[in-house]
Amino acid sequence: MAGLSLKKNLLTLVLVVILAGALVPGNVKGQNSVVDIVTDDFFNGILNQANEDCSGKSFYSRAAFLSSLSSYYQFRSGSADESKREVAAFFANVAHETESLCYIEEINGGSQDYCDETNTQYPCNPDKKYFGRGPLQLTRNYNYVAAGNSIGFDGLNCPETVATDPVISFKTALWFWMTNVHQVLNQGFGATIRAINGAIECNGGNPGAVQSRIQYYTQYCNQLGVAPGDNLSC
């Protein structure tokens, strides 16, 4: 009887392990998962480009990024090459926006409140400012509110949370990416620039910024061993 009971327990354990593996989302397991693509060397290679006195050096981390992925299973949901290009595109825009994860907040961001008063659905808190914060420099009251509602923080009254909680900070970047950028990836890297800051940078608006993003993207694609594809500029 004791032997039969032991066999049942072992069988139960095996089933639990199998089911647990099946429930792990595809973007955090497998040979071409984000965990495998965004290695310590890849992430720290970006972070190490920032100056030692940068605030982001002690704020952004690979662990915080990977933790934030739990809410965004569709990030990196294509083939192996598509996965690598999405990671390269995401971090290329992040590196440009933050100067290689140096900045948590927009430089001189406090000089503007970025309150869109025409958006009556999200009235601004007069004591808060909605300047760029986080890996993709989340900006404006309506984005803070929408991101907060999706992620679970008070973006309207506590926008500074994006600059004090590294996991939430990365979640806002992934929220913006999945809401506005992910769906245009098949149009080429240039489409990601247009989705993020096209009104200011594209069509000759700021060719230096566009080239900066492209340079990061091609660099990361080379590191990951994937062709960057067509339509790099906007």
Q: In which domain, by residue range, is 191 found?
A: 31-224
Alpha helices in 79-206 (DSSP H): 80-98, 141-151, 166-176, 189-201
Which pLDDT belongs to residue 32?
54
Q: How far apart are CA 109 and CA 121, in angstroms?
A: 24
Q: Which of 92, 59, 51, 50 is nearest to 161 (CA)?
A: 59
Tell me: do 159 and 84 sit in the same domain: yes
Number of separate domains in the chain? 2
Let me know whether 79 and 182 are in one domain: yes
Domain presence at residue 66: yes
| Residues 109 and 151 placed together within one structural domain of the fold | yes
Q: Are residues 200 and 90 in the same domain?
A: yes
Question: Does 22 share its domain with 36?
Answer: no
Asked whether residue 19 falls in the same domain as residue 125, the answer is no
16 with 102, same domain?
A: no
Domain assignment present for residue 231? The answer is: no
Same domain? For 18 and 69 the reply is: no
**Percent of the chain whose pLDDT exceeds 70:** 85
The residue annotated as part of the active site, out of 52, 82, 97, 117, is 97
Determine what percent of the chain falls in helix, strand and coil, rounding each to the nearest 5. Answer: 60, 0, 40
> Could you give the angle at the alpha carbon of 42 between the alpha carbons of 38 and 48, nearest 5°?
135
With a cut of 50, say whether residue 2 has pLDDT above it. no
129 and 20 fall within a common domain: no
14-23, 36-45, 58-67, 138-147: which has the minimum mean pLDDT?
14-23
Is 117 assigned a catalytic role? no
Q: What is the pLDDT of residues 176-220, one digit of tens each?
A: 999 999 999 999 999 999 999 999 999 999 999 999 999 999 999
| pTM listed for this prediction | 0.86
